[in-house]
Structure 1
Amino acid sequence: MSNHVAPIARLAGAIKHYGSLTALDGLDLMLHRGELLALLGPNGAGKSTAISLLLGLIRADAGTVELFGLDPQQLVARRRIGVMLQAASLPPTLRVEELLRLTASYYPAPRALLESAELAGIGDLLKRPYAKLSGGQQRRVQFAMALCGRPELLFLDEPTVGMDIEARQKLWTTIRQLVAEGCAVVLTTHYLEEAEALADRVCVMARGKVISEGSVDELRARVSLKRVRCVTRLDVQAVAAWPEVVEARQEGSRLWMSTDAAEVLVRRLLLADAQLSELEVQRAGLAEAFTELTREADSSVSDQREAA
């Protein structure tokens, strides 16, 4: 994506304090049309604060915050976004169709009710009171409400919590469709396989800063770990003690290992068990990349404190 195209959302040198706590420490972040940005980080990394700034819910203490080139608190900018927060308090007695009609009324050119319902997979829930829905069904209703205004930018905070596999796959399909149509999406999720499946770009945050940014493949390539799995008679505790093994665990009949010396480990496995079978070697996934990147950030902070 060209860097010459103006971003539709931008944080530049954003700083936010809550008393003595620095939630954001000079954060730089931008988002362009038609891309899905996954914002990842451990609890307390500053993700929610960054999103709250872009939504206009709070003000930065310093730095620049722009939404479509405007102050995020301006109504003309906020009418161009859709939001699905992690927690939502909605009138429990209203029916789903009433919630959608009410939400759509806030936008100048909303989607038709049935279109929003179809995109979210809730066509069979329209007559149901919101309070009578399961947690996963309520999340799908919240998703429909977030997209009913035809947003140019969609904020999704842990969107698939409580959903079953089928509902999650349906939501992923709709998100991909919206992005293909030019909608930008900011996704925060603890399901790293979700970010791996959807994201065009990933920003990993820690301590109020972006510590790593790039495509899923670029982040995976920065991690030396590989995953090795096989069916073996070897004891998992014995293998875990090998110097080339970072982690080992038994899952059913298979032994799973993480290593930064895959070739050495494979040779050792074959020598130790002549009956070994179903051997596979894979690059590290986003989960391993995330773990290693955040561990490195914590180590760097610890080293700085010790030096001080």
Structure 2
Amino acid sequence: MNLHHDGGPVVSVDEVTRTFGDVVALDHVSLEVGPGELVGLLGPNGAGKSTLLSLVSGLRRPDSGTVRLLGQDPTHPVARTTLGMTPQETGLPATLRVGEVVDFVGGHYPDPVPTPELLEQFGITELARRQTGSLSGGQKRRLAVALAMAGRPQIVLLDEPTTGLDVAGRTALWDAIRACHQAGVTVLLTSHYLEEIQALAERVVVVDHGRVLADDTLAAILERVGASRVSYSGPDGARQEHVVSDSDQFVRDLVRSGTEFTGLEIRHASLEEAFTALTAGAADGEGRETRHAPGAESGRARAGLTTEGVNR
């Protein structure tokens, strides 16, 4: 069944607020995701990312505002027939084998991906006869994401999809997510791994304290910092690195100073730097979503983010 309306958004969130007691998890959030987009929700733990996905998937209702999935109320089962989802925590029957779990989930859909094909796509063919209770945390995570794709969904919600994976497992899962997206699946994923969003997303929605701070292309988010990182090796061979607002002027001043240097490199600010600047602006009270340059940088620790590997 294809519920999507031609030209309409796959996901529509309009002025949604959701509270848990005294905690405001989402504060008048609006967001639209079009067909075929790969959108990354970036924010620290507790920013409201998982709550937003729970509303889109119909697991929770908003206190105010409206949520639509393929044009319908996501709390209605018919609206979820083309939805795949991997939550942060997935309970798998410990005594069932991996192949049996995939068969069981696939049996709920009219045209599921054949189990051998799905297992191969996610690099877990060798686990087919293993009981899920014997799997490592990373293996369970790869299986959970594979199950989200079992029914050939139009849209997939992935909440921290690579948590617990090593570098090789994460890279393999990224490749599988890209393949699904290239096949036309709309993907909305959350992560606090900056390099994950930078590696996968075409569009980035920055969320913090239940508010959307920025919603733009990856390139535009990076450009908002308005800074470049200049690095070079000094006379003693030690590598030096500077974040500057005008890289051309910095290099001119460096040459005029007579300092000897080699291996000059100039690059735009990383997504980490962009995010830190945006959340710093929010902490300083700059309001909700903005499409202008944010305030000054804050410490990485305050942002509560994890960076693994090189996110260049």
Q: TM range, normalised to the smaller chain? A: 0.7 to 0.9
Q: Please name the residue that 2:296 is paired with.
A: none
Q: 1:270 to 1:128 in 2, by over 3 A?
A: farther
Distance 2:69 2:188 in 1: 13
For 1:178-215, what per-residue CA distance to the aligned partner results, in whole angstroms no more than 9, with x for missing partners?
11221100111112122112112111112222111111
- Give the gaps of 5 or more residues in structure 1: 235-251, 303-308
259-268 or 64-73: bigger deviation: 259-268
8 A contact 2:225–2:269 mirrored in 1 = yes
Distance 1:84 1:90 in 2: 12
Distance 1:45 1:190 in 2: 10
Describe how 1:243-262 pairs up with structure 2 within 5 A: 253-262=238-247
Distance 2:229 2:88 in 1: 32
Give the letter aligned to residue 219 of structure 1.
Answer: I
Give the letter aligned to residue 162 of structure 1.
Answer: G
8 A contact 1:156–1:186 mirrored in 2 = yes
Describe how 1:1-308 pairs up with structure 2 within 5 A: 5-232=7-234, 253-270=238-255, 274-300=259-285
Pairwise CA distance, 1:253: 5.0
Q: 1:9 to 1:273 in 2, by over 3 A?
A: same
- Give the gaps of 5 or more residues in structure 2: 1-5, 288-312
Distance 1:76 1:232 in 2: 64
Distance 2:163 2:126 in 1: 20
Pairwise CA distance, 1:271: 5.8
| TM-score scaled by length of structure 1 | 0.85
**Bigger fraction of residues in helix:** 1
| TM-score scaled by length of structure 2 | 0.84
Counting matched residue pairs gives: 282
Partner SS state of residue 171, structure 2: helix
8 A contact 1:38–1:188 mirrored in 2 = yes
130-139 or 11-20: bigger deviation: 130-139
Distance 2:87 2:190 in 1: 10
8 A contact 2:149–2:156 mirrored in 1 = yes
Partner SS state of residue 119, structure 2: helix
Aligned-residue identity in percent: 41
Pairwise CA distance, 1:42: 2.2
Distance 1:283 1:224 in 2: 8
Q: Please name the residue that 1:240 is paired with.
A: none
Q: 1:95 to 1:256 in 2, by over 3 A?
A: farther
8 A contact 2:13–2:66 mirrored in 1 = yes
Pairwise CA distance, 1:45: 2.0
Pairwise CA distance, 1:8: 1.2
The RMSD of aligned alpha carbons is 2.1
Q: Please name the residue that 2:307 is paired with.
A: none
Distance 2:7 2:278 in 1: 29
8 A contact 1:37–1:202 mirrored in 2 = yes
Give the letter aligned to residue 280 of structure 1.
Answer: E
